[in-house]
Amino acid sequence: MSEMTYRDALNLALKEELRRDPSVVLWGEDVALYEGSFKVTRGLLAEFGEERIKDTPISENTIVGVAVGAAMGGLRPVAELMTVNFALLAMDQIINHMAKIRSMFGGQTFLPMVVRMPGGGGSQLAAQHSQSLESYFMHCPGLHIAYPATPADAKGLLKSAIRDNNPVIFLEHELLYNSKGEVPDDPEFLVPFGRANIIRSGTDVTIVAYARMSILALQAAGELEKEGVSCEVIDLRTLSPLDSETFIASARKTGRAVVVEECWGTAGLGGDIAHRIHEACFDNLLAPVRRVSGLDVPMPYSRKIEKICIPRAETIADAVREVVGRKY
Amino acid sequence: METRLRATLPDQELLKLYEQMVLSREFEESCAEQYTKGHITGFLHLYSGQEAVAVGATAGLHKDDYILSAYREHAQAIVRGADPRRVMAELFGKATGVCKGKGGSMHLFDPALNFMGGYAIVGGQFPIAVGLAFAAKYRQEDRIAACFFGDGAVNQGTFHESLNWARLWELPVLFICENNFYGIGTEVHRSSALASIHKRTCGYDIPSEKVDGMDVVAVYKAIKYAAEKVRETSHPYFIEAVTYRFRGHSMADPAKYRSVAEHEVWKSRDPIPALAKRLVAEEITTDEHLAGIRNKCLALVQEAVKFAEESPWPEDSEVYNDIYV
Ligand SMILES: Cc1ncc(C[n+]2csc(CCOP(=O)(O)OP(=O)(O)O)c2C)c(N)n1
Ligand SMILES: [Mg+2]
């Protein structure tokens, strides 16, 4: 085990997989010489050279499409989109090509590729640079989607993503890059897709979350413990495959659930998860499932009002208090 | 000036080009009939009139070269070697189709033939061709990627992004524009500021040429030359083949935006009788022999229809297969 940041854990995952498999190649805007706008690709050009670590033009749709072609041609490309916001320019290649090619061609090919993209709000970057678009991807069959909360998962999930023979959307939270944690040194350490992590056990209420929301849920659980409320916190790790079994079993046990999502609430993934819990646990539930979501607004710049648009530990705690019947 | 056929290819090869064009034409005309009968449904874009492009181009490529195309791609797949029976079955939506009935007319695919797909998002295939070319170069494989597309695709962002990218990374991509003058009902001069499409590559420093897409031998020569250039230099190259589709954009289009006179002019340049005339004039073959070739193609197409008709539908359980590995 070594203590390192989420950023360095991602960087280590990339290095280990590039060392392990010569068919892994990496490209994106400013990833080589500039070493990435969030420095996740630091040192890669120096170690692996121009053949494998490549700067690209500012052409998001083509960044993804070239990866689709390269994957079909026998490589394992890892493409970086500078932020998830720019993935909207690549939605044609992501949704119409990357997600469809295997199925529409009758299973005759597969796409072992990863598209990495930092995202999330909270840095006063205003409406066009603060989005959480995970529900957009999750809506579409054919993609795997990972979104790590901790440095260890950042490493283990990214390594699994690169080895996955399915196309993977790999989301990284910009506010987690500097977060620290213990990370296994083993180059064969992998975190499997489709297995949620019970990051805190409890008995009164289940909180389902992912990425930065899981960290906030843990903080809320810590506060609530002081009030005598025992929370079980489930970090989804991957949104596709979605490990419904784990959160359904937990909600059945606790009888209460709160679902936290950073994205907009309307038609957001939290609605789907809440519905799955209602349907599977109706007879066990002691209260309706609550959702905590990003506010349904384009993100404002001013930090005073940006703050209220994103779920916080306090808003998660308030939702838990409501479902356990203790309103403050 | 037309070159003498014998100066370009051996007799057997020339006859093969003829046969492939006839097979393509008969296949398409049979599709139209099957569509009218309700056996083929959905979108159906036929290639009649443009055969010289697919046939000449494929002859100018190596078998290992990748081919990608848009949704008007039956001929490209068949000429590459796809079994007409399994292509027809795909169009019928049958389990025996090349893509198990999941792709249909617009999404043929056969990796064993390096036929890397028909794509129905206009311009969607450009970056994928670039990526395949990158993989080939990275893996030091002796192959190039040939990317077919229409005149309408040149105003998509992916066209410009991919030309720039292919040149920037020095990738072996051969871009082949089939200029049939229309994107559905919009003529080139109503959609492109510079209607001379091959000139648009100068912004990307990619050499380009225009070729008569109704002359199969001219297409063959141009593509062979361009493909060898791409292979030698690992730089992209661009061919604009000027051609015409004899039918509407799809089966749903009566093509009212074109004049009868225009259509007649192009009909008189039909690439199949044009080649037949030259083959006979140069005494490479006889009219009787050519009629025999046509009968052989008709029989193949009839067999394809029969195979498709008799094939089973996909099982309902198939819907969940082939999405993930
Ligand atoms: C992105 C996108 N926009 C629009 C369409 C609808 N559409 C299908 S074919 C077509 C015209 C394309 O013309 P061209 O590239 O010249 O090919 P042709 O049909 O002549 O072979 C259009 C607009 C589409 N399929 N994809
Ligand atoms: Mg056209």
pLDDT tens, B78-126?
A: 999 999 999 999 999 999 999 999 999 999 999 999 999 999 999 999 9
Give contacts of B 73-102 with A, CB under 8 A.
97-102
Q: Could you give the number of structural domains in chain A?
A: 2
pLDDT band at A194 (very low <50, low <70, confident <90, very high): very high
Q: Mark which of A137, A153, A183 sits at the end of a domain.
A: A183
Q: Give, to the nearest 10 degrees, the angle between helix A244-254 and helix A269-281.
A: 60
Residues A179, A43, single domain; the answer is yes
A146 within a domain of the structure (yes/no): yes
Q: Rounded CA gap, A196 and A210, in Å?
A: 9
Residues A136, A209, single domain; the answer is no
Tell me how far the alpha carbon of residue B123 lies from the centroid of ligand 1, in angstroms: 8
Q: Rounded CA gap, A123 and A125, in Å?
A: 5
Q: Which residues contact A4 (CB under 8 A, 6 or more apart)?
A: A12, A151, A180, A181, A183
Which residues of chain A does B136 touch, with a Cβ-Cβ cutoff of 8 Å?
73
Could you say which of 3.50.50.60, 1.10.3230.20, 3.40.50.970, 3.40.718.10 is the CATH number of the domain covering B7-308?
3.40.50.970
Predicted ipTM beyond 0.90: yes
Q: What is the pLDDT of residue A327?
A: 56
Q: Which residues contact A109 (CB under 8 A, 6 or more apart)?
A: A72, A101, A102, B109, B111
Provide the 8-state DSSP code for B235. Answer: -
Query: Apex CA A69: angle with CA A67 and CA A73, to 5°?
Result: 110
Residues A212, A292, single domain; the answer is yes
Q: Rounded CA gap, B293 and A83, in Å?
A: 58
A190 within a domain of the structure (yes/no): no
Query: Apex CA A75: angle with CA A72 and CA A77, to 5°?
Result: 100
Residues A29, A124, single domain; the answer is yes
The nearest CA of chain B is from the CA of A68 a distance in Å of: 6
Residues A165, A218, single domain; the answer is no
Q: What is the pLDDT of residue B1?
A: 54
Q: Mark which of A151, A183, A215 sits at the end of a domain.
A: A183
A191 within a domain of the structure (yes/no): no
Residues A18, A104, single domain; the answer is yes
With tokens 């159906």, the residue in question is B44
Residues A177, A55, single domain; the answer is yes
Per-residue pLDDT 10s for chain B (325 aa) are: 577 999 999 999 999 999 999 999 999 999 999 999 999 999 999 999 999 999 999 999 999 999 999 999 999 999 999 999 999 999 999 999 999 999 999 999 999 999 999 999 999 999 999 999 999 999 999 999 999 999 999 999 999 999 999 999 999 999 999 999 999 999 999 999 999 999 999 999 999 999 999 999 999 999 999 999 999 999 999 999 999 999 999 999 999 999 999 999 999 999 999 999 999 999 999 999 999 999 999 999 999 999 999 999 999 999 999 999 9
Q: What is the pLDDT of residue A35?
A: 97
Question: Which residue of B98, B168, B319, B322 is the best one to mutate when testing the A interface, meaning the one whose CB has the most A CBs within 10 A?
Answer: B322
Residues A28, A132, single domain; the answer is yes
A328 within a domain of the structure (yes/no): no
Q: CA separation (Å) from B244 to B150, B174, B179, B215?
A: 11, 21, 7, 12
A255 within a domain of the structure (yes/no): yes
A188 within a domain of the structure (yes/no): no
Here the CATH number for the domain that contains residue A278 is 3.40.50.920
Q: Kindly name the residue from A17, A29, A35, A60 that is annotated as catalytic.
A: A60
Task: Tell me the average pLDDT across A180-187.
Answer: 98
Residues A217, A269, single domain; the answer is yes
Residues A108, A11, single domain; the answer is yes
Residue nearest to atom 17 of ligand 1 (CA): B150
List, for residues A94-153, the tens digit of each pLDDT value: 999 999 999 999 999 999 999 999 999 999 999 999 999 999 999 999 999 999 999 999
pLDDT at A160 over 80: yes
Q: Which residues contact A254 (CB under 8 A, 6 or more apart)?
A: A202, A203, A204, A205, A206, A232
Atom of ligand 1 nearest to the CA of B179: 16
Q: What is the pLDDT of residue A183?
A: 98
B38 interfaces chain A, CB cutoff of 8 Å: no
pTM above 0.95, yes or no: yes
Catalytic residue at A80? Answer: no
The domain in which residue A122 lies consists of 2-183
Here the CATH number for the domain that contains residue A25 is 3.40.50.970
A162 within a domain of the structure (yes/no): yes
Ligand 1 and B252: CB distance under 6 A: no
CA nearest to A305, candidates A83, A126, A85: A126
Residues A276, A249, single domain; the answer is yes
pLDDT at A328 over 60: no
A189 within a domain of the structure (yes/no): no
Ligand 1 and B180: CB distance under 6 A: yes
